[in-house]
Chains A and B, each alone.
Chain A
Amino acid sequence: MRADLQVIEPWIAPGSQVLDLGCGDGTLLAHLQQTKQVLGYGLEIGAEQITKCIEKGVNVIEQDLDSKGLSNFADQQFDTVIMTQALQAVRRPDVMLDEMLRLGRQGIVTFPNFGHWRCRHYLLWKGKMPMSKSLPHTWYNTPNIHLCTFKDFEVLCRQKNIKILNRTVVNAQFEQHRFALMWPNLLAEFAVYRIAHA
């Protein structure tokens, strides 16, 4: 099982309604359908990913978050709105957070931590935009147009009066590590946040 699924699964109530923004090949929703009997919908724009979702029996809707937004969904229509590894790729992450919590009672967000020591090290010593296994793109051709650190994200949540219910920090293999818990913004590569309106 994919490690992030293990983190997310306990936060999903059985039989609840879940919206996954940028659902990829539908692995997460297929898993939640099986283990939690959720009514799930995924939003995706990749043609091959969409076909993979359909092959898995996952409800998938072809919709571009940036151009169309989420106005076609009703307030508090979902129990959980999930966005894994995509917040940094949307045009307005702040508006996206508002929308997630308009549609769902809780939101689950994962993103790569730009404050990780490797990124800092790369920038400090090479003087160039960091590239790594988890951030493999060049600065001029990358889907990740709004990279941020955990601290950045948490400041934004505070400003928006969004409550962080849980935060699980992990490394690239989605393993939790003792040191990462002590200095997450420096030592953890990814975080899984569970958020709700305060």
Chain B
Amino acid sequence: MPKSLPADSVGVVQPQRMHFSAPLPLVCGKTLDQYDLVYETYGKLNADASNAILICHALSGDHHAAGYHSMEDTKPGWWDACIGPGKPIDTDAFFVVSLNNLGGCNGSTGPNQINPETGELYGPDFPIVTVKDWVNSQARLADCLGISQWAAVVGGSLGGMQALRWSLDYPERLRHAVVIASTPKLTAQNIAFNEIARKAITSDPDFHGGHYYRHNTVPAKGLMLARMIGHITYLSDQSMDGKFGRDLKATEFNFGFDVEFEVESYLNYQGKRFSKAFDANTYLLMTRALDYFDPAADFGGSLEQALQHAQCGFFVASFSSDWRFSPARSELLVESLVKAGKRVSYVEIEAPHGHDAFLIPTPRYMDVFSAYMQGVAREVNSAC
């Protein structure tokens, strides 16, 4: 519990809710007749609404990207390292909008919310949403907030995919796309890991075809397993070895199958904690959104062709030890951007933390991210 908030924190923030009554047609063919989006904002929107930054969250993220919900809050938002006064996304310069995506489980319309048509929770009947659908819903949120053009759309991992999608679907509505630790599409290995996660959830006896709410239960074991396998892919061999090595819980082997190594204990703890906080149906939806993402597919598989539509500047960053979305995946995007004649800067940050490195404020990452965002801020100011 912070007695006083750090000086570079956005402080105590309140989530807000926006209701949308215009139907949203989805890529899957279904339509969401009405929906809510929960979001937070940090900083002040300037007079001509030109300093707005959209933060897009990753698989298990939500709208709470920075600051604290109360003085009793033990942890700040998931990207507090990067959002706040003097941080790369400087709230003294920018108005930051961060939302919980459709299908999420933290307040926006999703499987754990009431379907107004039936009066029951959506559960497995919530339609499959894609990155493109999210971007469409985010554009409507921007309309309601009076933001006709984002100074930048920013995201890591699945969030980076949304930033990329924005640049293609609403090219005139953003000046910069910041794509961190992301990829223009998943590999077979990525999809395979997602499939194991889904199988873990759906084969849990408590899953009940996704209707677990009706049975007053949750597929906690399945979700825990899904998170455990996911978590391994977010770390690196090096970081796990550094953190746990072969350390034992006890002083010697017990010659059994209970938790013996520290790494087992850690994974179990993380999995258990996550299974209490996250919704299994949302996890399924998010992994599918990842699998389906492939903007080049609409252009005969040519990413270069797809990117012809983009007008914004791009900042792409990868991390040396990230094997989930390795630097090679980012480089593929950069190569296509250059071939398409788009403005792009690319850095590969040396960091041992694996995919999770995008959440960790390593000095070089902060320096170069700040440098890019300061350029965005200068542009905003010179246009005023």
CB of B341 closer than 8 Å to a CB of A: yes
Interface size for chain A: under 10, 10 to 19, 20 to 34, or 35 or more residues? 20 to 34
- Asked if B368 and A54 sit within 8 Å, CB to CB, the answer is yes
Residues of A near B331 (CB, < 8 A) are 72
Contact of A53 among B344, B345, B364 (CB under 8 A): B345
Report the separation of the CA atoms of residues A57 and B367 in the bound assembly, to the nearest whole angstrom. 15
CB of A150 closer than 8 Å to a CB of B: no
Beta-carbon contacts under 8 Å, B337-366 to A: 338-339, 341, 343-348, 364
Residues of A near B338 (CB, < 8 A) are 41, 61, 72-73, 77
Report the separation of the CA atoms of residues A41 and B331 in the bound assembly, to the nearest whole angstrom. 14
Residues of B near A63 (CB, < 8 A) are 346
- Asked if A50 and B341 sit within 8 Å, CB to CB, the answer is no
- Asked if A55 and B339 sit within 8 Å, CB to CB, the answer is no
Beta-carbon contacts under 8 Å, A172-191 to B: none
- Asked if A59 and B347 sit within 8 Å, CB to CB, the answer is no
The total number of A-B Cβ pairs within 8 Å is 49
- Asked if A57 and B375 sit within 8 Å, CB to CB, the answer is yes
CB of B60 closer than 8 Å to a CB of A: no
CB of B335 closer than 8 Å to a CB of A: yes
Residues of B near A77 (CB, < 8 A) are 338-339
Known: A17-B341, A61-B345, A61-B346. A72 touches B335 (CB 8 A): yes
Known: A50-B368, A54-B372. A39 touches B344 (CB 8 A): no
Contact of B345 among A39, A59, A72, A73 (CB under 8 A): A59
CB of B334 closer than 8 Å to a CB of A: yes
Residues of A near B348 (CB, < 8 A) are 62
Report the separation of the CA atoms of residues A73 and B331 in the bound assembly, to the nearest whole angstrom. 11
Residues of B near A55 (CB, < 8 A) are 371, 374-375
Report the separation of the CA atoms of residues A63 and B316 in the bound assembly, to the nearest whole angstrom. 13
Report the separation of the CA atoms of residues A41 and B368 in the bound assembly, to the nearest whole angstrom. 17
**B177–chain A nearest beta-carbon distance, Å:** 14
Binary CB contact string for chain B from 325 to 340 against chain A (1 if under 8 A, 0 otherwise): 0000001001100110
Binary CB contact string for chain A from 69 to 111 against chain B (1 if under 8 A, 0 otherwise): 0001110010000000000000000000000000000000000
Residue of B nearest to A55 (CB): B371
Residue of A nearest to B373 (CB): A54
Residues of B near A51 (CB, < 8 A) are 367-368, 371
Report the separation of the CA atoms of residues A51 and B345 in the bound assembly, to the nearest whole angstrom. 10
**A145–chain B nearest beta-carbon distance, Å:** 24
Report the separation of the CA atoms of residues A60 and B317 in the bound assembly, to the nearest whole angstrom. 12
- Asked if A74 and B341 sit within 8 Å, CB to CB, the answer is no
- Asked if A60 and B345 sit within 8 Å, CB to CB, the answer is yes
CB of A131 closer than 8 Å to a CB of B: no
Report the separation of the CA atoms of residues A72 and B347 in the bound assembly, to the nearest whole angstrom. 16
Contact of B346 among A39, A47, A62, A73 (CB under 8 A): A62
- Asked if B375 and A61 sit within 8 Å, CB to CB, the answer is no
Report the separation of the CA atoms of residues A4 and B368 in the bound assembly, to the nearest whole angstrom. 28
Report the separation of the CA atoms of residues A57 and B346 in the bound assembly, to the nearest whole angstrom. 13
Residues of A near B364 (CB, < 8 A) are 47
Residue of A nearest to B378 (CB): A57
Residues of B near A50 (CB, < 8 A) are 345, 347, 368
Residues of B near A54 (CB, < 8 A) are 315, 345, 368, 371-372, 375
**B329–chain A nearest beta-carbon distance, Å:** 13
- Asked if A61 and B371 sit within 8 Å, CB to CB, the answer is no
Residue of A nearest to B332 (CB): A72
Residues of B near A17 (CB, < 8 A) are 341
Residue of B nearest to A54 (CB): B371
Residue of A nearest to B339 (CB): A74
Residues of A near B371 (CB, < 8 A) are 51, 54-55
Report the separation of the CA atoms of residues A77 and B338 in the bound assembly, to the nearest whole angstrom. 9
Report the separation of the CA atoms of residues A62 and B346 in the bound assembly, to the nearest whole angstrom. 6
**B350–chain A nearest beta-carbon distance, Å:** 8
Residue of A nearest to B344 (CB): A59
Question: Can you list 24 A-B pairs with a CB-CB distance of less than 8 A?
Answer: A41-B344, A47-B364, A50-B368, A51-B371, A54-B315, A54-B345, A54-B368, A54-B371, A54-B372, A54-B375, A55-B371, A55-B374, A57-B375, A59-B343, A59-B344, A59-B345, A61-B345, A61-B346, A63-B346, A72-B331, A72-B338, A73-B339, A74-B339, A77-B339
